[in-house]
């Protein structure tokens, strides 16, 4: 006997939020139509959809620019963040000496230092990337360092009993132990890289061929092209969701055989 769709967990996981989304969109459309709200105040979902189609070319180019900065920043944050964590676990002294500076980067608002970075770094793409890295790197450093330190003390004792090298301890014990923490950091950091890229674009206000989605939002606001503004906003949101979903997928693939966070528990 086939199981009803409503009892299918995967189906419910996708269908339930989708249904809420469709309901909100329909309600939004009907409200705008019923009260005859002007486009420049609140555009209807249909208006936004039309803008997505008609302004596709400019929006797509802006999306590519934002994605370029986001991915660059995310990749750099991962590489530098992991390298910093590996350095921190080598010695308590190194961690004590350097970790406060990692916190400093986290607590300094990027909007406050973005103008300086834009002045110091000539190339706009790299200036935006540096800003996004500053926003995205802390969760990687913090989570990975915590993971590298959170090894089973008995396993560590066993490694020490065999007088293993630091390299063996790192590769065979610390790095696998840290994976769940690292992937947790990736989930947070991927979203922050996008936020960092968008915030930096707002501050830089870069137009022309290097215009990202944030610039598109600013420009559309000045020109009262509110549907286009919403369309750009939707692209940012969808990008953020896709990035998060990609991180969840990667994490599940890597941990599905052993870690509680990725195990499918049958009740």
Partner 1 sequence: MTATKVTPLKPAPSPESEAPVAEGKTGARPVLQVNGVNKIYGNGTVALKGADLTVKQGEFISLLGPSGCGKSTLLRIMAGLGEVTTGTVKWWEQDYDVVGSKGRKLAFVFQNATLMPWARVRKNVRLPLDLEHAGNSEEVEKKIDDALDMVGLKGFDESYPRELSGGMQMRASIARAMVTEPNLLLMDEPFGALDEMTRNKLNDDVLKLWQDNGWTIVFVTHSVYEAVYLSSRVVVMAARPGRIVDDIKIEQPFPRSPDFRVSTEFAGYCRQVSQALERASTMGEDKKEAQS
Q: Applying CB under 8 A, which residues contact partner 1? A: 152, 154-155, 157-164, 168, 172-173, 176, 179, 257-259, 263
For partner 1, the closer of residues 180 and 212 by Cβ is: 180
CB of 259 to partner 1, least distance (A): 7
- Closest separation between CB of residue 166 and partner 1, Å? 13
CB of 147 to partner 1, least distance (A): 12
| Helix locations, 121-174, DSSP H | 124-149, 153-161, 166-169
Under a CB-based contact definition with an 8 Å cutoff, are residues 82 and 140 in contact?
yes
Residues 30 and 24: their CA atoms lie apart, in Å, by 10
* Closest to 71 (Cα-Cα) out of 206, 212, 182, 215: 212
**Shortest gap between Cβ of 184 and partner 1 (angstroms)?**
16
Q: Which is nearer to partner 1, 234 or 250 (CB)?
A: 250
Strand segments, DSSP code E, in 182-256 are none
Nearer to partner 1, 163 or 267 (CB): 163
At its nearest, how many Å lie between partner 1 and the CB of residue 10? 22
Q: Is 225:150 a contact under the CB 8 Å cutoff?
A: no
How many C-beta neighbours within 10 Å does residue 79 have? Answer: 12
Which of residues 19 and 160 has its CB atom nearest to partner 1 in the complex?
A: 160
Nearer to partner 1, 113 or 170 (CB): 170
With left for phi above 0 and alpha for psi between -120 and 50, is residue 87 left, alpha or beta?
A: alpha
């Amino acid at each position: 006997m086939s199981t009803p769709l409503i009892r299918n967990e995967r189906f419910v996981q996708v269908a339930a939020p989708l249904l809420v989304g469709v309901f909100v969109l329909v309600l939004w459309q009907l409200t705008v139509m019923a009260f005859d709200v002007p486009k420049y105040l609140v555009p209807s979902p249909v208006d936004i959809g039309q803008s997505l189609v008609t302004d596709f070319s400019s929006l797509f180019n802006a999306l590519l620019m934002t994605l370029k900065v986001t991915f660059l920043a995310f990749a750099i944050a991962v590489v530098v963040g992991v390298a910093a964590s590996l350095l921190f676990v080598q010695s308590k002294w190194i961690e004590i000496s350097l970790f406060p500076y990692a916190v400093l980067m986290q607590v300094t608002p990027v909007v406050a230092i973005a103008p300086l970075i834009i002045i110091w770094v000539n190339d706009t793409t790299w200036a935006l990337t540096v800003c996004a890295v500053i926003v995205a790197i802390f969760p990687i450093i913090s989570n990975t360092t915590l993971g590298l330190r959170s090894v089973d003390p008995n396993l560590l004792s066993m490694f020490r009993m065999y007088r293993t090298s630091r390299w063996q301890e790192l590769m065979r014990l610390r790095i696998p132990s840290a994976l769940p923490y690292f992937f947790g950091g990736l989930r947070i950091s991927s979203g922050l890289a996008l936020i960092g890229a968008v915030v930096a674009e707002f501050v830089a206000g870069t137009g022309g061929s290097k215009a990202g989605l944030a610039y598109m939002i600013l420009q559309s606001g000045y020109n009262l092209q509110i549907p286009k503004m919403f369309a750009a906003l939707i692209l940012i949101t969808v990008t953020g969701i896709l990035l998060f979903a990609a991180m969840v997928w990667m994490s599940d693939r890597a941990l599905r055989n052993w870690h509680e966070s990725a195990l499918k528990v049958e009740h």
